[in-house]
Amino acid sequence: MDTNRARTVVTAGLRGLALALISLYGSLVLFVLTLVSLVLVPVGIGLITTPWVLAGVRAHANRRRLFAVEWCGVRIPLEPSGAKSWKDTFRLLGWLFVDMTAGFVTALVPAALVFYPLEGFALAFGLWRVFTDGTYVGWWYGFVPVSGQGSALLAGLLGVALLVASYFLTPALLRVHFLLARSLLAPGQGELAERVRVLTETRRDAVDSSAAELRRIERDLHDGAQARLVAMGMDLGTIEALIEKNPAKAKELLTRARQSSAEALGELRDLVRGIHPPVLAERGLGDAVRALTLRMPVPTEVGVDFGGGRADAPVESAAYFAVSEVLTNAVKHSGADRIWVDLHHAEGMLRISVTDNGGGGAVVGAGSGLSGVGRRLGTFDGVLAVSSPAGGPTVVTMEIPCVLS
């Protein structure tokens, strides 16, 4: 038996069991809360509670998206930024209902295939005596009525058959659970108009951001390096006049001019680094993020899986500065003492997750750094999702469509 395959099967069974519990209890609670909150909208209470409840539902759905891509490689597209219409609300409500019913079953089946055979083996080894005295059927194992050692051995054989089936079917059955979720959570054709609106907004934001960036560069050049170069030119003119009359003063001014040139060069390097870090151009996104985290005051672990390829330079630059902004927010506001960054590429999608163990409460809203990250990613048709319940942890997930070369 392939050890790696066996480990994969057992892991899939454990994940299926966890998903079954989450689907049954988590989705059931959120479904009831959502219905109650919507019913209370006409009396005013629901106007206050519904946004909070729906935020919890979206966080629940985003966590399922996270599990889908990490556990089975199933990508469930995120909602377009700003897509929070009633249609989206009812789609989420429908997913909660299906998740707590059919989703529960599709998660429980792979778990049962792995762990239900253990009961059959226990019956075959004598546990049947606890449930029957041998004169009547006291227990059923699947379709096998257990009333004695002979029928208990049949239960053990059925357990073997189920275990063999789990070896071949469990990972695929777990994938069915996520495919079901994708069929309900993925935006449909009806959101084309919303997508056009979002793309129009992101294009406008990209133009505004580019104009603001150009103004910043111009201001930094004017107030920094340009001013130092002008002063250095004046010093050189004075040196030229004093070099014969007052060599000591000329030497002093020459030393100051050399210092000014070094400072101007440093400012120019900092400016270039702010536009496009040299390590990003030379070594790629993974090493650039690793170099970025070395300067972090909080211990940060970085995992990279790009398969040896690289994305286009504009995509790498957008991803780098997005990660930088998210890390800055985590350090400033989360109170975390540990941060994890994961970057990988799969199915034509660059996916980045930044997780911290802080106090949670991060939101994407007007004026927040995360809203700027969302606009930056939107320029490349990327999306941002944030899961940050009170008490943490906070998981910021970013996705950018791209191909590696």
**Structural contact between residues 398 and 381, judged by C-beta atoms closer than 8 angstroms:** no
Asked whether residue 127 falls in the same domain as residue 255, the answer is: no
Statement: residue 83 has pLDDT above 60:
no
Per residue in 252-298, pLDDT (tens digit) is 777 777 777 776 666 666 555 555 567 777 788 888 888 888 888 88
By the 10 Å C-beta count (0-12 exposed, 13-18 middle, 19+ buried), 276 is classed as: middle
Asked whether residue 353 falls in the same domain as residue 251, the answer is: no
For the residues of 300-329, what is the DSSP string, one character each?
Answer: EEEEEE-TT----HHHHHHHHHHHHHHHHH
**Structural contact between residues 19 and 53, judged by C-beta atoms closer than 8 angstroms:** no
Share of the chain above pLDDT 90, in %: 14
Per residue in 97-114, pLDDT (tens digit) is 999 999 999 999 999 999
How many Cβ atoms are within 10 Å of 25's Cβ, its own excluded? 12
Cα four-point dihedral sign 56, 59, 65, 69: negative
Asked whether residue 174 falls in the same domain as residue 314, the answer is: no
End-to-end CA distance of the chain: 37
Nearest to 90 by CA among 24, 145, 35, 136: 35
| Number of domains observed in the structure of the chain | 3
Per residue in 173-183, pLDDT (tens digit) is 999 999 999 88
Asked whether residue 345 falls in the same domain as residue 261, the answer is: no
Distances (CA, A) of 243 to 130, 232, 248: 108, 16, 8
pLDDT of residue 266: 63
Residue labelled with tokens 């059925």:
158
Asked whether residue 156 falls in the same domain as residue 135, the answer is: yes
Asked whether residue 217 falls in the same domain as residue 166, the answer is: no
Pick from 126-130, 154-158, 190-194, 366-370: least confident: 190-194
Pull the structure tokens for residue 185.
Answer: 């959570």
Asked whether residue 67 falls in the same domain as residue 179, the answer is: yes
Statement: residue 169 has pLDDT above 80:
yes
Query: Which of 10-19, 191-200, 320-329, 342-351: highest mean pLDDT?
Result: 10-19
Measured in whole angstroms, the distance separating CA 19 from the mean position of its chain's CA atoms is: 18
Per residue in 193-214, pLDDT (tens digit) is 555 666 666 566 655 555 555 5
Share of the chain above pLDDT 70, in %: 79
Alpha helices by DSSP H, 148-246: 149-185, 192-220, 226-242
49 in the Ramachandran plot: left (φ > 0), alpha (ψ -120 to 50) or beta?
Answer: alpha
Residue 360 pLDDT class (50, 70, 90 cuts): confident
How many Cβ atoms are within 10 Å of 230's Cβ, its own excluded? 12
Distances (CA, A) of 125 to 2, 122, 155: 26, 5, 10
- Residue after which a domain boundary falls, among 138, 166, 187: 187
- Residue after which a domain boundary falls, among 250, 275, 300: 275
Q: What is the pTM of this model?
A: 0.53
Measured in whole angstroms, the distance separating CA 35 from the mean position of its chain's CA atoms is: 28
Pull the structure tokens for residue 244.
Answer: 């014969």
For 10, phi then psi, to 5°, come to -65, -40
Residue labelled with tokens 């999608």:
349
Residues contacting residue 260 through CB under 8 Å, at least 6 positions apart: 228, 229, 231, 232, 235
Distances (CA, A) of 109 to 141, 246, 288, 337: 16, 93, 43, 39
Instruction: Please give the residue range of the domain that contains residue 42.
Output: 3-187
Average of per-residue pLDDT values in the chain: 79
**Structural contact between residues 213 and 131, judged by C-beta atoms closer than 8 angstroms:** no
Pick from 153-162, 264-273, 340-349, 390-399: least confident: 264-273
In whole angstroms, give the CA distance from residue 386 to residue 241.
Answer: 64
Nearest to 121 by CA among 150, 157, 148: 157
Asked whether residue 13 falls in the same domain as residue 158, the answer is: yes
Asked whether residue 267 falls in the same domain as residue 373, the answer is: no
Statement: residue 147 has pLDDT above 80:
no
Question: Is residue 307 helix, strand or coil?
Answer: coil
Asked whether residue 268 falls in the same domain as residue 288, the answer is: no
Asked whether residue 245 falls in the same domain as residue 199, the answer is: yes
Asked whether residue 173 falls in the same domain as residue 228, the answer is: no
- Residue after which a domain boundary falls, among 275, 292, 324: 275
Pull the structure tokens for residue 172.
Answer: 């695929």
Cα within 13 Å of Cα(176), Cβ side: 15
